[in-house]
Copies of this chain bind each other. A is one copy, B any other.
Amino acid sequence: MTTIAVLGGTGPQGKGLAARWAQAGLDVVLGSRDPSRAQAAAEQIGVRGTGNLDAATQADIVLVAVPFAGHADTVREVADAVSGKILIDCVNPLAFDKQGAFPVAVPEGSAAQQAAALAPQARVVAAFHHVSAVLLADLQQELDIDIMVLADDREAADEVIRLADVVPGMRGVFAGRLRNAAQVEALTANLISINRRYKIHAGVRITDLP
């Protein structure tokens, strides 16, 4: 069985995705900088928890779901452990002020490209940026969202599309190469603006797909 590690799994987005994958019958391990916090969060959703490096070592597929402030350090820590594995990056490099969220510049172009630079042996896929942690956390809540999946490695992208499709109400859509990841990450700032204005938990659907 495929094992998925969710690094930063104590955060709402990582924990929510982990819960949905566990519900779909996948083998999930939460990682955190603090293994005891990972274990506590993991217990809440019926999976196991450990340190980020140990989780990445155990897993076949690794999702990096840490805040952007910890992104580079986390990827560096697991770079060897993810060699040859699919590394999914869902990190949104955003900052906040009283006017809301806005994207911050990433020297490599995007968080996903930063991951590719720091873990050059990993098969980096950008995906799961636009999932509402609030909706994910409520397992009774039906989802209705598309997951934009970006990668230069087409087979890795297809595998991550399947990982989206396994969650009811989620659909993976191939949305380009990693050089087009920055705007997908940054679009989360717009979804936050939409959430504020309409008091909702916005996601995205791609129209005209069969």
Residues of A in contact with B (beta carbons under 8 Å apart): 99-103, 132, 135, 144-145, 148, 150, 173-177, 179-180, 182-184, 186-187, 189-194, 197-198, 200-210
Contacts and interface: CB of A to CB of B under 8 A. Distances in A.
A103 B76 CA distance: 28
Contacts of A208: 132, 135, 144, 200-203
Given A187-B187, A204-B204, A180 B209 contact: no
A180 B193 contact: yes
12 contacts: A101-B180, A103-B180, A150-B190, A173-B194, A174-B193, A176-B194, A180-B189, A183-B184, A198-B210, A202-B206, A202-B207, A203-B206
A144 B180 contact: no
A190 B102 contact: no
A101 to B, nearest CB: 8
A160 to B, nearest CB: 14
A177 B97 CA distance: 13
A183 B183 contact: yes
A52 B35 CA distance: 63
B197 A190 contact: no
